[in-house]
Amino acid sequence: MAAVEGVRVVRLGDVAPVALPGDSWSRVLISSSTVGTNEACMGYSVFTPGMATDDLSHEVEELAYVVSGSGELRMRDGVVGVSEGSAAYIAPHVWHTVANTGTQNLVMVFAFTSSDYPPTEHAPSRVTNYGA
């Protein structure tokens, strides 16, 4: 981890992965444990083909950018496709599932308006009939 006054660089390998099902993983790169004075956090996720997260609802808004691959954001009232080069805004308290419906890894950068990964409710995904 490199630091200069007012700047902190965190490399992907500096942070331990959080294991997800199907050999998928996430790393929260910018957080209070890596920066200490931040007001937002940022991470990097790799979702393998066929993987779908639990149904999630975060206390704060989420921003996501798809670096590569394709998939879906499955909400309780519909589905939004995402693919390389697209960005998504998810409002606070919106239940959503991230699903990789493609044949390659779905790689996403995410950010929250919270100094750490925000309080999040988890439930088994209830949206299963949208193409996966």
Write out pLDDT tens, residues 96-121.
999 999 999 999 999 999 999 998 99
Which residues, listed in sequence order, are joined to residue 63 by a DSSP beta bridge?
A: 89, 111
Write out pLDDT tens, residues 21-64.
899 999 999 999 999 989 999 999 999 999 999 999 999 999 99
Which residue bears the tokens 């960005």? 87
For the chain, what are the domain ranges? 14-117
Query: Where residue 4 falls among pLDDT bands split at 50, 70, 90?
Result: confident
Closest CA to 45 of 72, 16, 21, 25: 25
The answer to whether 109 and 44 have CB atoms below 8 angstroms apart is yes
DSSP 130: S
Q: Which CATH number fits domain 14-117: 3.20.20.70, 1.10.645.10, 3.40.390.10, 2.60.120.10?
A: 2.60.120.10
Distance CA(41)–CA(8), nearest Å, equals: 13
The answer to whether 87 and 66 have CB atoms below 8 angstroms apart is yes
The answer to whether 45 and 107 have CB atoms below 8 angstroms apart is yes
Distance CA(12)–CA(32), nearest Å, equals: 16
Which residues, listed in sequence order, are joined to residue 37 by a DSSP beta bridge?
A: none
Question: pTM of the predicted model, to two decimals?
Answer: 0.89
